[in-house]
Amino acid sequence: MREEQQDRDGAEHKRRADFEALVAEQEAGLLRYAARVLGDGSAAKDIVQEAFARLFQQGRASRTATASPAAWLYRVTHNLAVDHIRRESRLRSLHSEHAAERQGTAPPIQRAVAEQRELAALVWRHLRTLKPREQQVVILRVDEGKSYREIAQIMDLSEGNVGFILHHALKKLSKSLRQAGVI
Amino acid sequence: MKRVIQCRNISEVLAAYLMGELEPARAALVRAHLEACEKCRVEADALRATLDVLRQAAQQTADLPTHLERRRVEEILAAKSHPLMRWMEQHFVILAVIVVSAILLNILFLMRRRLAPREPPDEQPIPVQVAPRPRGSE
Each residue's pLDDT tens digit in chain A (183 positions)? 677 777 777 877 888 888 899 999 999 999 999 998 888 889 999 999 999 998 888 766 677 777 788 888 998 998 898 888 888 765 555 455 455 444 444 445 444 444 677 888 889 889 988 988 899 899 999 989 999 999 998 888 999 899 999 999 999 999 999 998 888
The last residue of one of the domains, among A24, A54, A87, is A87
Q: Which of B12, B56, B65 sits opposite A45 (nearest CB)?
A: B65
B61 neighbors A32 (Cβ within 8 angstroms): yes
Residue-range definition of the domain harbouring residue B94: 70-115
A167/B21 CB distance under 8 A:
no
Looking at the structure of chain A, the number of domains it has is 2
Residues from chain B that touch A28, judged by Cβ atoms under 8 A, are 66-67
Q: How far is CA A43 from the centre of its chain?
A: 12
ipTM score of the complex?
0.72
CB contact under 8 A, B21 and A177: no
Give the residue from chain A lying closest to B53, CA to CA: A123
pTM: 0.67
Any domain includes B34: yes
Q: How many CB pairs under 8 A join A and B?
A: 123
Angle at A113 between CA A109 and CA A118, to 5 degrees: 65
Instruction: Inform me whether the C-beta atom of residue A17 falls under 8 Å from chain B C-beta atoms.
Output: no
* A31 and A78 fall within a common domain: yes
Domain boundary among A69, A87, A105: A87
Domain that holds residue A78: 1-87
Phi and psi at residue A95, to the nearest 5°: -60, -40
